[in-house]
Chains A and B, each alone.
Chain A
Amino acid sequence: MSAASKNLWRFLFATTAIILLAAVLNFVVDPLQLFRPARLFPAMYSPSSRMQGAGLIRSQDFDTVSMGTSVAIYFRPSDVDRVLGVRSIKLSMNGSNSHEQSFVLAAAMERRPKRVIWQMDDWIFRNAPEIDSGIYLPADLYRRNAKGVATYLFSGAMARESLWILARAIPPLEPIVARFTNGLMFKFPVSRVDDINTRRPDFDVAGFYNAKSALADFRQLIDPARSSSIAEGYNYDAMVRNFERDAVALIASNPDVTFDIYLAPYSILQFVAMRDASPSTLKITYDFTAYAFPRLLQFPNVRLHDFRDVKDVTHDLGNYSDVIHHSPVIDLKVLSWLADRQYVVDPAAPLASLERLKAQVEAYRVEQP
């Protein structure tokens, strides 16, 4: 064999060895806890909820799953557990659509939870393409198929995280490594499952959630140059199709699971923006509610809560950072309302809350600067 041939084979073998070494490292450390809960090494978690959810479903003990968009992402599972008397995991994902949410919930159903707390709105049903057409949700990790496992094991980024977690497990290195662990350099900077995507205790709530921010966002929304974004993707027929495929089908196929579905207390400005800049979108929103509420109430395992007309909260703009995102204080209120079943939609009058909302939107006048 010539020297060049020998070098070629050496090159190929050494490359294979390094790649296999990385895969072994990822398997042993298992940063996502996909194969087993963390025992040998300290558990670390990622704020990337689409990825982390796959690991949480496998590694945590739970009987309740909470799901939603960014509006429901700052809940602390410990608060949910305390107020509702459950053992929960949080699988909410920023900007998620109904198909992503349904897909992740279906994966969680394999662990047989008793209850799902699902923050739902019309927005998630607008644009919900097939799971594998998106690039953000690692669907194969949830499916735990060969492709998903291989992608996880043969990932250099994951090997870097594994090395970091490994270093953190070595006592003399632990303080230094912990000090440099942050979300900028490492994808798994969170050491407690309860802290994933929550506001830190020192977070400036009043500075972030205030009427000025909410009104500024409102004005931007209704600015004629940008207002077309309000109507983006709103198509009644498509929304109903997505609703049937993603929500109704999942509920129907899990009759033993109680679904607490709630519509979050968006600020009144969200609907007023539609009223002022895109009335046709507001009509679709109303029409969609008029279709979805009676449909959901057909299922005995659904409890439907509508918080959109809770005037004390929705008209107090100091609760909001923009037209929809409320403060952690309201998160706790939502939990107490869910526990007290204070705003449960009455099957005898499924559209009563919608009519109240319509009246509020009609009557509301935005204060001028």
Chain B
Amino acid sequence: MLFNSYSFIFLFLPLVLLGYFALGRRSQLAPVVWLALASLVFYAFGGWQFVLLLLLSIAFNYGVGYLLIVPKLGSRARLAVLTTGVAGDLVVLGIFKYAGFFAANLNALFSAGLIVNIVLPVGISFYTFTQIAFLVDAYRGNVARYALPHYALFVTYFPHLIAGPILHHKDMIPQFERAETKRPDPHLILCGLIIFAIGLFKKTCLADGIQPLVAQAFGPTTPTFDQAWIGVLAYTFQLYFDFSGYSDMAIGISLMFGIFLPLNFNSPYKAVSIVDFWRRWHMTLSQFLRDYLYIPLGGNRHGRVLRYVNLMITMLLGGLWHGAAWTFVAWGTLHGVYLCINHAWSNFGPKAPPRFARLTATAGVALTFLAAVIGWVFFRAPDITTAFAVLSKMADPTNIAFGRVEMMYALFVAIYAALAWFAPNTQEIMGYDHEKRSVGENLRTRRMRPLFLYAATAVLAFGILGIQQHSEFIYFRF
């Protein structure tokens, strides 16, 4: 089921909200069970055949976690249990996500004739990562014993299940346990609705609106210089508004249940460096990769060279996490290179005088944006050959069309760029603070301005009116 569908907005969400708060009057556990069951129903709409896999994954990880938390095992046994748990998760992920890729490469190398046709279960990358984090923390002794319904809800919680944000058990399960979240709070519901509205607008009006322009670069015909740039920039903004729109919607929906989800985007195209970019783009994935891959690899604790090696490994695997294709490996590797250059520049490059700070920041934003745009070519292209073909067109200003169509499209792209660079982001508009568990305090303390309220209603109305059939989120594929 899609967030941007009538059935979700007018049927599923109101029913689940009503059930949750109705049960919350009588019990603390019943609303948690209700929400977990509703999440499974939500998941079943996207692929009912994988519900069993999801349940098995929850049971397996909860069992492994139990062994790590409760019984007094020796350190070797604990390590063996952790290894089994993580390996089990990775094997399942590997089979469903990477077996086809592996077979295709074997076929290419050795003409092996392997045929692997496995459908990718929706959200498997997300729920596998959240549970690996749980196991690692359980091994580290950072996990209290959780009740099974709360754990199951943590994994299945429908606002995040399909495409994140990647949640952390320490952040979520205590919120599920709180009594206050089971009582409806009109302020949180209203703020949640407004955040949901912004996300829906980003998806249905902005991302879906610019999507046809992407074919300028990635369509069947060979693009000219300007068409290639228009198409690639269109994809750059489509991806941002699509995924950040989804994340806003997830945060907004969750807020209606009184649960604060972590932020996933913070105006990434305003980043002044690639390091800054990764603190603003898909923030929960960056945090996961940092805490559970980069730091365990050694991080920056073993000298500069190893730091760069660790960065490259982390980003390469981060790329591969997005999809089983060489284009994602190339994208991850490219960002690994970017990060190494960024760190090297910070360590060895000249420092700009303070009076040029503004100019340096502007140049940093432009360079970072350009680097990200080049990266998105690999991310979007169906194969490496196409990616290089598009890049070669972007680097060939001798072949320009720039007719009426291209001028109009360039204007569209400029409007999107202005939104991404100069407009405040959702958390700035709403005063959303995940750490402090606060949102819309200005709206609460002062009487809500009618203009703001009615502008928000227009955003929701346009978002709903903009719903097109079959418009999936790009990150559903990962």
Asked if A5 contacts B186 (CB within 8 A), the reply is yes
A157 touches B466 (CB 8 A): yes
Q: Are A4 and B461 in contact (CB under 8 A)?
A: no
A18, B186: Cβ atoms closer than 8 Å: no
Closest to B458 in A: A18
A154 neighbours in B (Cβ, 8 Å): 464-465
List B contacts of A253 (CB < 8 A).
none
Contact with A along B370-408 (1 / 0, CB 8 A): 000000000000000000000000000000000011001
Chain B residues with CB below 8 A from A11, complex form: 190, 193-194, 453, 456-457, 460
The answer to whether the Cβ of B357 comes within 8 Å of any Cβ in the partner chain is: no
| B190–A14 CB distance below 8 A | no
Instruction: Map CB proximity to A onto B313-355 as digits: 1 under 8 Å, 0 otherwise.
Output: 0000000000000000000000000000000000000000000
Q: Is the interface of B mostly helix, strand, loop or mixed?
A: helix
The answer, among A4, A135, A155, A184, for a CB contact under 8 Å with B190, is A4
- Once A10-B453, A11-B457, A19-B465 are accepted as A-B contacts, the answer to whether A184 and B444 lie under 8 Å apart by CB is no
Interface flag for B469 (CB, 8 Å): yes
- Determine if A156 and B205 form an interchain contact, defined as CB atoms under 8 angstroms apart: yes
Most chain B CB within 10 A, of A2, A4, A159, is at A4
On whether the beta carbons of B448 and A7 are closer than 8 Å, the reply is yes
A145 contact set on B, CB distance < 8 A: none
Which residues of A, 1-15, contact B by the 8 Å Cβ criterion? 2-5, 7-8, 10-12, 14-15
Q: Please tell me which one of the listed residues B204, B205, B404, B454 contacts residue A14 in the complex, with CB atoms under 8 A apart.
A: B454
> Which residues of chain B come closer than 8 Å to A135, judged between CB atoms?
469-470
Is B50 an interface residue when CB atoms closer than 8 A count as contact? no
Identify A184's interface contact among B187, B404, B447, CB under 8 A. B404
Q: Check if B189 is an interface residue, CB within 8 A of chain A.
A: yes
Tell whether A185 is near chain B: CB-to-CB under 8 Å.
yes
Interface residues of B in 112-129 (CB under 8 A from A): none
Q: Does A22 sit within 8 A of B, measured CB to CB?
A: yes
Q: Are B461 and A7 in contact (CB under 8 A)?
A: no
Task: List, in ascending order, chain B residues with CB within 8 A of A18's CB.
Answer: 457-458, 461-462
Q: Is the CB of A155 within 8 A of B460?
A: no
- CB within 8 Å for A14 and B457 given contacts A155-B465, A184-B404: yes
User: A-facing mask of B435-478, CB < 8 A → 1, else 0?
Assistant: 00000000010011000011011101110111011100000000
Report how far A184 CA is from B408 CA in the complex, Å. 8
Count, chain A residues at interface, CB 8 A = 24
A156 touches B448 (CB 8 A): no
Nearest CB in chain A to that of B194: its residue: A11
**Residue of B with least CB distance to A134:** B470
**Is A8 within 8 A of B465, CB to CB?**
no
In the complex, the answer to whether B187 meets A4 with C-beta atoms within 8 Å is yes
Interface residue A235 (Cβ < 8 Å from any Cβ of B): no
Name the CB-closest residue of B to A140.
Answer: B469
Task: From the candidates B186, B462, B469, name the one contacting A156 in the complex (CB within 8 A).
Answer: B462
Q: Tell yes or no: A213 within 8 A of B by CB.
A: no
Q: Which residue of B lies closest to A5 (CB)?
A: B186
Contacts of B190 in A (CB 8 A): 4, 7-8, 11
- Give the CA-CA distance A12 to B186 in the complex, in Å: 12
Q: In the complex, which residue of chain B has the Cβ closest to the Cβ of A153?
A: B465
Q: Does A60 contact B (CB under 8 A)?
A: no
**Chain A stretch 132-183: residues in CB contact (< 8 A) with chain B:** 135, 151, 154-157, 159, 182
Q: Nearest A residue to B466 by beta-carbon distance?
A: A156
Q: B447, A3: Cβ atoms under 8 Å?
A: yes
Please report the C-alpha to C-alpha distance between residue A10 and residue B443 in the assembled complex, in whole angstroms. Answer: 15
Whether the pair A7, B453 counts as a contact (CB closer than 8 A) is: yes
Nearest opposing residue in chain A for B464, CB measure: A19
Is B186 a contact of A22 with CB atoms below 8 Å? no
Q: Which B residues form the contact surface with A (CB < 8 A)? A: 185-187, 189-190, 193-194, 204-205, 404-405, 408-409, 444, 447-448, 453-454, 456-458, 460-462, 464-466, 468-470
Some 18 contacts from A to B, beta carbons below 8 A apart, are: A2-B186, A3-B448, A4-B187, A4-B190, A7-B453, A8-B189, A11-B190, A11-B456, A11-B457, A11-B460, A14-B457, A18-B458, A18-B462, A19-B464, A22-B465, A156-B204, A156-B465, A182-B404
Inter-chain pairs besides A8-B186, A154-B465, 9 sampled, C-beta below 8 Å: A3-B448, A4-B185, A7-B453, A14-B454, A15-B461, A18-B462, A19-B461, A151-B469, A155-B465
